[in-house]
A = this chain, B = another copy of it.
Amino acid sequence: MSMTSTPPTTDAEDRRILVALALALVEQPRASLQELSRAIGISKATLYRFCRTRQALIDRLATHSGQVLDEVITSARLDSAPPLDALRQLIASHLEHRELTVFLMYYWKDASTDICAHCEWDKALDAFFLRGQQAGVFRIDISAPGLTEIFISTLIGLFDAERRGRVARVGLAALIESAFLDGTRTQKP
């Protein structure tokens, strides 16, 4: 029978293109549409059929990234799970969607539509880190937004370092977690 049900959001091929585009747009922000399409292995015409204008492309990517990161936030149970468990889940989920995470970090200001999932995104993180502070898990001599920024910096920076081959893919999540939580000073226990 194979009833082709209506795809809920975007089908697999579309998502493949979106991820590839996110990566290409971050690596070469000034690439032309021609260069972009070649970079992800499709023709300019197909890219045009996918999105008619560059702005529509950015908006679509921003919307999609926002949706995915909303799921990331939700699945981490930031408001209920034990902070360190939520943090680990947060890192793992972001790692699964590195390209979209990095894209949204670089392009959230460029999305014309006020989707701005980013705003909700870092608000959710701020609230999470505040809760973690109140639970005695995170340092209280750094503001919650400060913790959010340190977290995102470590996340994005090490995703990028892995792309450049500076750190290994294996153990990346653990590296991020430990760098964020424990720092780089020789431990003294």
Residues of chain A having any CB pair with chain B under 8 Å: 29-30, 136-140, 142-143, 145-154, 156-158, 160-161, 166-167, 175, 178-187
Asked if residues B149 and A166 are in contact (CB atoms below 8 Å), the reply is yes
Inter-chain contact B153/A158, CB cutoff 8 Å: yes
Q: Across the interface, do A142 and B179 meet the contact criterion of CB distance under 8 Å?
A: yes
Closest B residue to A151 by beta carbon equals B184
A50 to B160, CA, bound (A): 33
When chains A and B are docked, how far (Å) is the Cα of A187 from the Cα of B138?
8
Contact A181 B185 (CB under 8 A): yes
14 contacts between A and B (CB under 8 A): A138-B186, A142-B175, A142-B179, A145-B167, A146-B166, A148-B166, A149-B158, A150-B158, A153-B153, A153-B158, A157-B157, A179-B183, A180-B183, A181-B184
Q: Which residue of B lies closest to A179 (CB)?
A: B150
Q: Is the CB of A161 within 8 A of B187?
A: no
Interface core residue of A145, A146, A158 (most chain B CB under 10 Å): A146
Q: Which residues of B contact A147 (CB under 8 A)?
A: 184
Contact A187 B139 (CB under 8 A): yes
B138, B140, B150, B161: the one within 8 Å of A154 (CB): B150
Contact of A139 among B139, B148, B185 (CB under 8 A): B185
A29 — which chain B residues lie within 8 A by C-beta? 29-30
Contacts of A166 in B (CB 8 A): 145-146, 148-149
Are A185 and B138 neighbours in the complex by a CB distance under 8 Å? yes
A134 to chain B, nearest CB (A): 11
* CB atoms of B185 and A182 under 8 A apart: yes
A183–B183 CB distance below 8 A: yes
A147 CB to nearest chain B CB (Å): 6
In whole angstroms, how far apart are the Cα atoms of A30 and B110 in the complex? 11
Q: Please, which residues of chain B bring their CB within 8 A of the CB of A136?
A: 186
